[in-house]
C-alpha cells in the first residue's frame, strides 16, 4: 500500500470549535498541497488518520485566514472521535469505497436486502462511513412499506448488535414506548412508579427533546439527576426495581441516533425503520415485555384506526420473531394530555398525579393508569380491566408516590422543579365550546417561551376539547424565564389565535 501515513507530510490538528452535529467535518485551506495532490474538493469524503485512530470525514474548504498553512481544522465530533490534541499529526487519504452503499442502490432498484447486507449497512453507519446524504438515501429507499417483515426483523437485529446491550438476568423486564409524542403526554414517570411499586423491574431510559418542548429526560431533570452511568443505573434498579435515566450516556442502538436526525429533516415515514428503531432500543435495553402506546388523531403521527392496526400487527410479528412480548394500545391523540407543556410544568403535573392532588389533571392520571394496566395485564396474567384497576389502587394508596421519591433519592437527589417568573394569560374573547386544539402550534409557543432549555418555561393549557368557555376565561398561561422570551411567545400566539378554536354554543 502506498498510502501508509508515514509517506506523506502530516498536517497539524487545530480545534475550530465548530459543532456540525453528528457528521465529522474537517477544514483545509484551499491552497493546501494535499487538496491538489489528492484531488480533494469541498464535500469530498476523506479518510483521516492519526497514529492511533482514523475516521471518515466530510471536507469543507477554508478560503480565508482561519487556518495557517500546514494546519487542518476539525469539527467537535471529529475532534472527539479522533481524541486529538492541538498539533497532533494527521494524515489524509481517499477512503475505500463503501461497499454497502451498493446495497442501497440495489434497494432503489427494488431488490430485497439480505441479512448480511443489512448488517453491513448498519455497521458502516455506526463506523461513520455514511455522510448525511447517504443516510438520506437509505431512509428514502426504505420509505413507506419498502421493507418486508423479514427485512425489518433483520434490520432490528443488526441495530441491536451494532451497540451495547444490557443483560438483567431476569425473566421479566418491562418497558414502554409511545409512537409520536403528544405535548404533555408525560406518563412514563408515573408508569415506572406504579409498575415498580407492583414489584416489576422497569429500567427506563428516555431521550431529551429534539424538536419538542420537553422529553422525559428533560422533565425528570427538574426532579432528580438523570445522567447515570450504566453502573449507577444498575445500582438504582437493583435497589428500587426501576430508574428514570437519560439514555444518552448508554450507547444502545447507536445507528438509531444517527438515522433519527436525518429522518426528522426528511419527515419521510418508513414503517420498517420505525419498528426497527423502537424494538432495537428496547431489546438492547434488556426489556422482555413492552407496551406500545399508539396515539391516534388528526394531528398525531398515526392518523387513522386502520393505519394504527396495520402498524400494531407488524410490530407484533417482528417482536414475536425476536422473542420480545409486546402489547399495543390505541389511545386518543386529538389533544395534549395533562396541563403543562415544558419540563417543569410537566413535572408539576406528574407530582400532582402521584400525590393524588384533588386538582391533578385527570386525563394524565387516566392515561398513565391505562398504560400501566396494560403492562400489568400482560405480565401478571390479569383479566381485561383488572390491570387498570390495580394501577389505580397503587396510585390511590400512595405506593407509587413513595416509590417515585425512592427512585429519585437513589438517583442522587429529589429536587423541586423551578418556577418561571414571567407569565402571560390568553383569555377568551367570546363565549363558545372548545372544538379543536392544535398540538403543533402549542408546542411552538412553549418552545418560543424557552422550553426545553429553560426548564421552567412552557405553557399551561386550561381547557380541553368540549369544554364550555365564558368570555374573559383564561385559555392558557405562558411561562418564561425572561421578558424577551415571553414577548416572543406572546407575539406568535397573538398571530395564531386559532391554536384553540371555539365553536358557537349549541
Instruction: In angstroms, give the least distance from the CB of 91 to a copy of itself.
Output: 13
Instruction: In angstroms, give the least distance from the CB of 453 to a copy of itself.
Output: 5
Site membership for a copy of itself, residue 208 (CB under 8 A): no
Identify the sign of the CA torsion 49, 55, 57, 62. negative
For residue 201, what are the β-bridge partners?
none
Q: Do 193 and 281 meet the contact criterion of CB atoms below 8 Å apart?
A: no
**How many Å is the Cα radius of gyration of the chain?**
25
Site membership for a copy of itself, residue 89 (CB under 8 A): no
Q: Distance (Å, rounded) from C-alpha 63 to C-alpha 70?
A: 14
Site membership for a copy of itself, residue 267 (CB under 8 A): yes
DSSP 3-state of 58: strand
Nearest to 489 by CA among 439, 438, 442, 456: 442
Residue placing its CB nearer to a copy of itself in the complex, 75 or 255: 75
Main-chain phi, psi angles of 148, to 5 degrees:
-85, 175
Nearest to 90 by CA among 190, 5, 195: 5
How many C-beta neighbours within 10 Å does residue 287 have? 25
Residue placing its CB nearer to a copy of itself in the complex, 93 or 193: 93
Q: Given the residues 175, 257, 269, 359, select the one marked as catalytic.
A: 269
Site membership for a copy of itself, residue 313 (CB under 8 A): no
Burial of 140 by CB count in 10 Å (0-12 exposed, 13-18 middle, 19+ buried)? middle
Among 427, 494, 497, 503, binds a copy of itself (CB under 8 A): 494
Q: Distance (Å, rounded) from C-alpha 331 to C-alpha 387?
A: 16
269 part of the active site: yes
Instruction: In angstroms, give the least distance from the CB of 183 to a copy of itself.
Output: 14
Residue placing its CB nearer to a copy of itself in the complex, 104 or 337: 104
Residue placing its CB nearer to a copy of itself in the complex, 61 or 465: 61
Among 85, 112, 170, 265, binds a copy of itself (CB under 8 A): 265
Residue placing its CB nearer to a copy of itself in the complex, 168 or 492: 492
Stretch that binds a copy of itself, among 12-20, 239-247, 310-318, 363-371 (CB under 8 A): 12-20
* b/e sequence 215-226, b meaning 16+ C-beta within 10 Å: bbbbbbbbbbbb
Site membership for a copy of itself, residue 303 (CB under 8 A): no
Strands 174-178 and 89-93: unpaired
From start to end of 69-157, where are the E strands?
Answer: 71-75, 89-93
Site membership for a copy of itself, residue 51 (CB under 8 A): no
* b/e sequence 45-57, b meaning 16+ C-beta within 10 Å: bbbbbbeeebbbb
Instruction: In angstroms, give the least distance from the CB of 17 to a copy of itself.
Output: 2
Site membership for a copy of itself, residue 110 (CB under 8 A): yes
Instruction: In angstroms, give the least distance from the CB of 132 to a copy of itself.
Output: 5
DSSP 3-state of 176: strand
Among 47, 61, 230, 260, binds a copy of itself (CB under 8 A): 61
Site membership for a copy of itself, residue 492 (CB under 8 A): yes
Among 47, 131, 322, 436, binds a copy of itself (CB under 8 A): 131
Stretch that binds a copy of itself, among 60-68, 194-202, 367-375, 379-387 (CB under 8 A): 60-68
Among 78, 125, 135, 410, binds a copy of itself (CB under 8 A): 135
Would you give the DSSP letter of residue 192?
Answer: H
Name every residue whose Cβ is closer than 8 Å to that of residue 2 and which is 6 or more positions away in sequence.
Answer: none
Encoded one letter per residue, x for contact with a copy of itself by CB under 8 A and - for no contact, window 419-458 reads: ----------------------------xx-x--xx----
Encoded one letter per residue, x for contact with a copy of itself by CB under 8 A and - for no contact, window 214-253 reads: ----------------------------------------
From start to end of 438-505, where are the E strands?
Answer: 458-461, 468-469, 474-480, 500-503
Residues at the site binding a copy of itself, with contacts judged by CB under 8 A: 1-2, 7, 15-21, 27, 30, 33, 36-39, 41-43, 45, 60-66, 75-76, 101, 104-105, 108-110, 131-137, 139-141, 143-144, 210, 261-262, 265-269, 447-448, 450, 453-454, 484-485, 488, 491-492, 494-495
Q: Which residues are catalytic?
A: 269
Amino acid at each position: 500500500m502506498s498510502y501508509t501515513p508515514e509517506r506523506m507530510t502530516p498536517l497539524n490538528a487545530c480545534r475550530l470549535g465548530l459543532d456540525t452535529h453528528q457528521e465529522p467535518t474537517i477544514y483545509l485551506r484551499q491552497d493546501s498541497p494535499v487538496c491538489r495532490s489528492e484531488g480533494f474538493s469541498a464535500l469530498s469524503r476523506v479518510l483521516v488518520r492519526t497514529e492511533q485512530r482514523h475516521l471518515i470525514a466530510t471536507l469543507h474548504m477554508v478560503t480565508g485566514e482561519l487556518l495557517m498553512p500546514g494546519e487542518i481544522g476539525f469539527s467537535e465530533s471529529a475532534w472527539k472521535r479522533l481524541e486529538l490534541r492541538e498539533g497532533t499529526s494527521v494524515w489524509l487519504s481517499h477512503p475505500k469505497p463503501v461497499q454497502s452503499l451498493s446495497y442501497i442502490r440495489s434497494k432503489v432498484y427494488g431488490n430485497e436486502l439480505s441479512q448480511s447486507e443489512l448488517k453491513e449497512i448498519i455497521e458502516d453507519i455506526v463506523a461513520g462511513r455514511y455522510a448525511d446524504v447517504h443516510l438520506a438515501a437509505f431512509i428514502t429507499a426504505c420509505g413507506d412499506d419498502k421493507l418486508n417483515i423479514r427485512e425489518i426483523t433483520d434490520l432490528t437485529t443488526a441495530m441491536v448488535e451494532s451497540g451495547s446491550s444490557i443483560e438483567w438476568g431476569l425473566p421479566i423486564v418491562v418497558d414502554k414506548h409511545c409512537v409520536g409524542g403528544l405535548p404533555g403526554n408525560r406518563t412514563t414517570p408515573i408508569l415506572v412508579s406504579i409498575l415498580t411499586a407492583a414489584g416489576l423491574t422497569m429500567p427506563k431510559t428516555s431521550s431529551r427533546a429534539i424538536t419538542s418542548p420537553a422529553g422525559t429526560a428533560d422533565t425528570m431533570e427538574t426532579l432528580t439527576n438523570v445522567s447515570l452511568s450504566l453502573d449507577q443505573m444498575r445500582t438504582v434498579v437493583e435497589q428500587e426495581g426501576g430508574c428514570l435515566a437519560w439514555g444518552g450516556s448508554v450507547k444502545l442502538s447507536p445507528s438509531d441516533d444517527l438515522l433519527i436526525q436525518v429522518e426528522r429533516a426528511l419527515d419521510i415515514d418508513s414503517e420498517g425503520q420505525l419498528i426497527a428503531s423502537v424494538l432495537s432500543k428496547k431489546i438492547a435495553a434488556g426489556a422482555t415485555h413492552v407496551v406500545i402506546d399508539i396515539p391516534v388523531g388528526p394531528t398525531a403521527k398515526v392518523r387513522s384506526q386502520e393505519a394504527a392496526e396495520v402498524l400494531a400487527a407488524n410490530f407484533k410479528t417482528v417482536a414475536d420473531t425476536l422473542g420480545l412480548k409486546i402489547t399495543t394500545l390505541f389511545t386518543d391523540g386529538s389533544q395534549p394530555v395533562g396541563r403543562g407543556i415544558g419540563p417543569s410544568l410537566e413535572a408539576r403535573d406528574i407530582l400532582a398525579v402521584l400525590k393524588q392532588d384533588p386538582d391533578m389533571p385527570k386525563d394524565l392520571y387516566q392515561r398513565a393508569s391505562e398504560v400501566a394496566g396494560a403492562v400489568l395485564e400482560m405480565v401478571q396474567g390479569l383479566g381485561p380491566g383488572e390491570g387498570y384497576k390495580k394501577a389505580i389502587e397503587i396510585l390511590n394508596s400512595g405506593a407509587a408516590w413513595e416509590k417515585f421519591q425512592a427512585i429519585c433519592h437513589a438517583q442522587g437527589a429529589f429536587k423541586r422543579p423551578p418556577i418561571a417568573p414571567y407569565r402571560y394569560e390568553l383569555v377568551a374573547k367570546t363565549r363558545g365550546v372548545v372544538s379543536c386544539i392544535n398540538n403543533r402550534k402549542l408546542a411552538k409557543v412553549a418552545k418560543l417561551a424557552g422550553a426545553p432549555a429553560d426548564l421552567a418555561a412552557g405553557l399551561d393549557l386550561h381547557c380541553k376539547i368540549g369544554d364550555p368557555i365564558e368570555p374573559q376565561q383564561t385559555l392558557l398561561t405562558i411561562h418564561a424565564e425572561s421578558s424577551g422570551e415571553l414577548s416572543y411567545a406572546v407575539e406568535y400566539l397573538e398571530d395564531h389565535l386559532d391554536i384553540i378554536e371555539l365553536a358557537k354554543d349549541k
